[in-house]
Chain A
Amino acid sequence: MKEKNYSPIDYVLLIPGIGFIVVFIASSIIITITQSFGLLSVTGKSQFTIENWKAIFHDKESLDSVLFSLKMGVLSSLGTLIFAFPLALFLRKSGPGKRFLGSLIKIPQFIPALVAAFLIINLISYHGIINEALLALGIIKEPLRMLNDKFGWGVVVIQIWKNTPFVLLILSGSLASIHDDIIDAARNLGAGSFSVLFRIFIPLSMPGILISMILMFIKAFGDFAITSVAGPIYPPSIALRMRNTATLFQEWDKAAVLGVIIILTTLLITWLYSRLAEFVVGEK
């Protein structure tokens, strides 16, 4: 164990970075919470009320938005994991051509989310190349509605396309920390590929799997831009509904309630993650 190597001055050195983040993030959280209870109101008078909360909870459209965003969060995080994990496993060992493959995979990481949305929209739109190809091959008779579809598959595909490299990056880190000795030992004791996958690779990379899924969930759950260009016409994602409530309908207090719901869900999921990570890794 390292001895104490710090002085009070070190806490002062934390201030520029940590302080900056705390001031901005804390003030936005505080304003969201106070405003959801009618305080610090922009429009009308400021007084404590829980009317806004009641109104949102009795509003079926808001519930639809929450459920839709939850669905997008879960499907996007599972989807990226399914794409990224096999690739990360395959790229764990270096080999001819794998460097090139690695750089190809990384490209979407450097493509801004809105651009990614646009690129995929081109492919999946009503007369996009995928529909045209399927029509030409005689697989379908009518073009499929994949963009702005009711379910939201278009959004999920865009999230997967854009975020697979990010998840791959985190997974590669945790897979790289697994020593070959463990795998060799398991193989010597007669473990097949299946046992190695399910009893070594997956459990030992679980911290990476969990954090990448959490970050993906949060991204997709709170998404505004992608859902607004590729999502269904109804329901809007919760972030989109919040923004419209605030700026189009000027009901900032109700928007603040939606904001608090988004923040709480994010915190809850992050907390669940840390509990799960403790449970899996066994560390405190």
Chain B
Amino acid sequence: MAVHTSQSVAKAAGDDVARGRSRGTGNPPPPSRLRRALSVHWYAWTMVAPVVIVIGVIIGYPLFRGLWLSLTNADERNVARSIGVNEIPATYEFVGVDNYVDALTGGQFLSTLGWTLVWTVSCVGVTFCLGMALANILNRKIAGRSAYRMALILPWAIPGFVSVFAWRFLYNEDRGLLNKLLTGSGFDGIPWLNDPTWAKFSVIAVNVWLGVPFIMVALLGGLQSIPSEQYEAAEMDGATAWQRFRHVTLPGLRPVSTTVILLSTIWTFNMFPVIFLLTRGGPGEATQILVTQAYKFSFEISPRDFAQSSTWGVLILVLLMLFAVVYRRVLRTQGDNW
């Protein structure tokens, strides 16, 4: 269908161009390949041109600069800067892949990567299971369904940084509501954000709270698109509720699930605000994920270490792209035309 439409459009557009030219020159020479491609595709290329230019200038150029910085020893003291009217030129040098060697052989990157993986897997796993359960409940006939739906979506509707501050308010060790309730009922208060293990638990809890609505709504949409004939057929064959879920619902949700899992894995891996605003990576470096640590290198330590920060950034990007490629390949071998 796509082919059909595009060809007919192409012909129309191509004719247009040819007519315009022939009016001027009478007998055009046989066009070269490039010219022919241009005359067939010029409208599509014109339409995508703004985005290509914008992406090239504001993403492409910084990206290559970032790659370059990661191969140098740039820090706050040797980059180009101006103090008053004096322009100080950059004095940093090319150091090859030293930064990458340091990052990959030193302990800090690998231990941060380890926690980042734990964080991503547990957040996405828990969020997906909760979202799946809630979507299935909401897909049934149940009184007050739209009210429940509205309430459950709320965490998504509030800007993330506001919710994170709300949680910080609840988590506060001396005066937060959670600990007041605990001490009120005779338990000891919990150092939610001040103990490494509890802090890890707390940030995951907040991220799950933030992430469930998106998955729930997406899966709910997927559930509603599963034809009810399939369930009727399953019932005819005597399938139990679990069998219906396992053999009708799950396969029917596959296209939506694969997409939301991919998206939320990428988002969680890069989830800056939750960690940054809740704990700043603390206590110590216990909750620091790769993104917040890279941010810390370039903006929170002195002197700012731009080279190391860029190195970590590039490594994060490489990891995510590897993940996306592998994920797609696995899906394709299982027969998905995604």
Do A and B share a complex? Answer: no
Chain B contacts to A: CB under 8 angstroms: none
